[in-house]
């Protein structure tokens, strides 16, 4: 089985189709790269692309996309609702198959250094690639956005990891990092009282003392008349789905509320589901190589299991 | 993603290495076929090979292996502990990826017809490919073994599905079928009383009125001093792992016994684990295409998801 990395670069352009196409074409032209998804949002004025490939190809694609965006986007004229610090706002590398988080941290450093050296854009390492604890959190890196960072970049605590401590005149700065795949996991409650969902969200999210790598909100699903705990599991290794689910269920029960069910929006890594199955079946000594399909894929490709 | 079928042919030779090698070579020489496992048992005098490939290649490999075994094995001289009716005793086709059970039934019919026509060996269809309800069960097809079937093959209820109602003079008869992947699933109990494990095994197995597609025994794990319910889940679609587990747990609790944990021996299909995760997390509306790796593999291969 080949090594596969996912990369989800975010660019500060969601309105001009010719710029969007030029950036996506630059990513795509690297051999072996597949674009799984692209989403341009005019209100956010932002383009989010999901691509996969082998590590070196993915790094090359991320660089070429950044190069094109630096040529075509002028942050001095950029407006949009989403927080951003540059034309290439953020580039996360995500391990998928036969690649470790450490490998993704190396890719982030390699691409970050190259963006600074060849494009003259200062780069901040974030997530698992962060060099300072406070920069694990992307929000801290992006504090003040483009305009605020421009004013503060000379200060010692805002020094970039690569490049000089001044913004690129049109492309600003870029955050490059490594992170686990994000899982959008929503749990529906048998109540129309959204305050209960909000209390549960506070109990589980890192920002109020819950699981470090969980973000959560209590929201109302109007068309169904039910409250929902809307959750982003940012690292299922520290916050497995079953554990998050069990805490939500237990907290709901203290208000006399049942869990109706849950939903996963978008993609979920195989391992996150296998872990839930292991919990549910009290499986001991299970090795992920025992998954039939994984065994077959690796055998058919004739590479190490 | 390409279509993948698993095939697990059983041959009545577990002692002569040159015959074993000749059969495995015949299977292997078909382009695109990979042998995942081969196990020759001298006591059983039997060879079990696990191979995977695209449907047509797998059918061709199964035929070529049968052809070689018919040439090299003489059932008139065969002795061994395992029940068997012929040189090529049984050939099951198992759906793995982008292949339905119906496709595997078609493969079983196609290979069965060819073995009868080209090799002169009478063929019985079994499992999901059975043409009579009583032949779903392989044990019924193999009743009396080689010697017994030889005496009864002319009787109306023992007529083969393909070929004439007489044994091949040296190769006997063959059972060809389709089935779900078998999962070896053991559940350990916090007791040294094996009679409790036996009672639970009776409660869950099809032969005594439990789940139709479950086989189970109560056994003692001497080195750990604990009793175990040793289970073969022959079709996880009718008997999902979580349901089997929950019944074992509930039956154990009536004897005041806890479940210590469970084990899966060998391979398990991804879907069986995903189903357990869905149960555990009360997931609703989940589509297996949301598994990240599946999406990536299908995208990289550029075939339909």
| Mean of all residue pLDDT scores within chain B | 93
The alpha carbon of residue A221 is apart from the nearest alpha carbon of chain B, in Å, by 15
The alpha carbon of residue B158 is apart from the nearest alpha carbon of chain A, in Å, by 36
Could you report the per-residue pLDDT of A132-187, keeping only the tens digit for each?
Answer: 999 998 989 999 999 999 999 999 999 999 999 999 999 999 999 999 999 999 99
- Say which range, A101-110, A283-292, A294-303, B229-238, has the weakest mean pLDDT: A294-303
Residue B44 annotated to the active site: no
B259 near A CB under 8 A: yes
Q: How far is it, in rounded angstroms, from Cα B85 to Cα B72? A: 16
Residue A97 predicted with pLDDT over 60: yes
Interface test with A, best of B8, B183, B292, B298 (most A CBs within 10 A): B292
Give me the pLDDT at residue B305, please.
34
Active-site positions of A read 82
Mean pLDDT of B245-261: 97
B190 near A CB under 8 A: no
Give the residue from B52, B27, B179 showing the smallest Cα distance to A293.
Answer: B52
Could you report the per-residue pLDDT of B90-149, keeping only the tens digit for each?
Answer: 999 999 888 999 999 999 999 999 999 999 999 999 999 999 999 998 989 999 999 999
Chain A residues closer than 8 Å to B49 by CB: none
pLDDT band at A304 (very low <50, low <70, confident <90, very high): very low
Of the candidates B241, B263, B282, the beta carbon closest to that of A261 is on B282
A299 near B CB under 8 A: yes
Q: How far is it, in rounded angstroms, from Cα B248 to Cα B189? A: 9
pLDDT band at A261 (very low <50, low <70, confident <90, very high): very high
pLDDT band at A115 (very low <50, low <70, confident <90, very high): very high
Domains of chain B: 4-178 (3.30.990.10), 183-268 (3.30.70.670)
Query: φ and ψ at B127, to 5 degrees?
Result: 65, -140
Query: φ and ψ at A21, to 5 degrees?
Result: -60, -40
pLDDT band at B82 (very low <50, low <70, confident <90, very high): confident
pLDDT band at A36 (very low <50, low <70, confident <90, very high): confident
C-beta pairs of A74-79 under 8 Å, 24+ apart in sequence: A74/A170, A75/A12, A75/A146, A75/A170, A75/A171, A75/A172, A76/A169, A76/A170, A78/A12, A78/A45, A78/A146, A79/A45
Which residues are CB-contacts of B102 (< 8 A; sequence separation ≥ 6)? none
Residue B201 predicted with pLDDT over 80: yes
Chain B residues closer than 8 Å to A263 by CB: 283-286
Chain A residues closer than 8 Å to B97 by CB: 293, 296
Residue B166 predicted with pLDDT over 70: yes
Chain B residues closer than 8 Å to A274 by CB: 273, 277
Residue B10 predicted with pLDDT over 80: yes
Asked if residues B41 and B81 have their Cβ atoms less than 8 Å apart, the reply is no
Give me the pLDDT at residue B83, please.
86
Could you report the per-residue pLDDT of A193-246, keeping only the tens digit for each?
Answer: 999 999 999 999 999 999 999 999 999 988 899 999 999 999 999 999 999 999
The alpha carbon of residue A290 is apart from the nearest alpha carbon of chain B, in Å, by 5
Residue A25 predicted with pLDDT over 50: yes
More confident of the two residues B20 and B297: B20
Residue B301 predicted with pLDDT over 90: no
A221 near B CB under 8 A: no
Tally of CA atoms within 13 A in the half-sphere of B54 that contains its CB: 8
Residue A305 predicted with pLDDT over 70: no
> Does the predicted interface ipTM exceed a cut of 0.85?
no
Residue B242 predicted with pLDDT over 70: yes
Of the candidates A34, A294, A300, the beta carbon closest to that of B34 is on A300
B270 near A CB under 8 A: yes
Residue B303 predicted with pLDDT over 80: no
Helical residues (DSSP H) of B166-269, grouped into ranges: 194-204, 241-254
Could you report the per-residue pLDDT of B26-51, keeping only the tens digit for each?
Answer: 999 999 999 988 889 888 899 999 99
The phi-psi region of residue B34 (left if phi > 0; otherwise alpha if psi is between -120 and 50; otherwise beta) is beta
Residue B304 predicted with pLDDT over 60: no
Could you report the per-residue pLDDT of B282-299, keeping only the tens digit for each?
Answer: 999 999 888 888 777 777
Of the candidates A245, A281, A292, the beta carbon closest to that of B276 is on A281
Measure Cα distances from B150 to A2, B88, B165 in Å: 51, 15, 10
Query: φ and ψ at A251, to 5 degrees?
Result: -65, -35
More confident of the two residues B153 and B222: B153
Give me the pLDDT at residue A302, please.
53
Give me the pLDDT at residue B302, please.
53
The alpha carbon of residue B298 is apart from the nearest alpha carbon of chain A, in Å, by 10
């Amino acid at each position: 089985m080949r090594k596969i990395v996912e990369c989800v670069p975010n660019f500060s352009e969601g309105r001009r189709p010719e710029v969007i196409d030029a950036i996506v074409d630059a990513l795509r032209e690297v051999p072996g790269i597949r674009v799984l998804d692209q989403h341009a949002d005019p209100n956010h004025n932002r383009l989010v692309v999901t691509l996969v490939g082998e590590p070196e190809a993915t790094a090359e694609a991320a660089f070429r996309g950044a190069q094109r965006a630096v040529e075509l986007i002028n942050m001095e004229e950029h407006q949009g609702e989403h927080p951003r610090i540059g034309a290439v706002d953020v580039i996360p590398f995500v391990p998928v198959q036969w690649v470790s988080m450490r490998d993704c941290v190396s890719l982030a450093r390699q691409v970050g250094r190259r963006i600074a050296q060849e494009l003259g854009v200062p780069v901040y390492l974030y997530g698992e690639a962060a060099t300072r604890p406070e920069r694990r959190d992307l929000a801290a890196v992006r504090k003040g956005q483009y305009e605020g960072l421009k004013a503060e970049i000379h200060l010692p605590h805002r020094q970039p990891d690569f490049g000089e401590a001044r913004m690129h005149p049109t492309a600003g700065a870029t955050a490059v990092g490594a992170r686990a795949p994000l899982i959008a996991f929503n749990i529906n409650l048998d109540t129309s009282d959204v305050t209960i969902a909000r209390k549960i969200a506070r109990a589980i999210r890192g920002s109020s003392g819950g699981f470090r790598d969980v973000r959560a909100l209590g929201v109302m699903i109007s068309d169904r008349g039910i409250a929902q705990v809307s959750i982003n599991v940012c690292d299922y290794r520290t916050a497995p789905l079953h554990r998050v689910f069990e805490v939500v269920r237990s907290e709901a029960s203290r208000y006399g509320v049942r869990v109706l069910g849950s939903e996963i929006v978008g993609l979920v890594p195989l391992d996150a589901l296998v872990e839930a199955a292991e919990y549910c079946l009290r499986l001991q000594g299970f090795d992920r190589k025992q998954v039939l399909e994984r065994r077959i894929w690796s055998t058919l490709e004739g590479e190490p299991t």
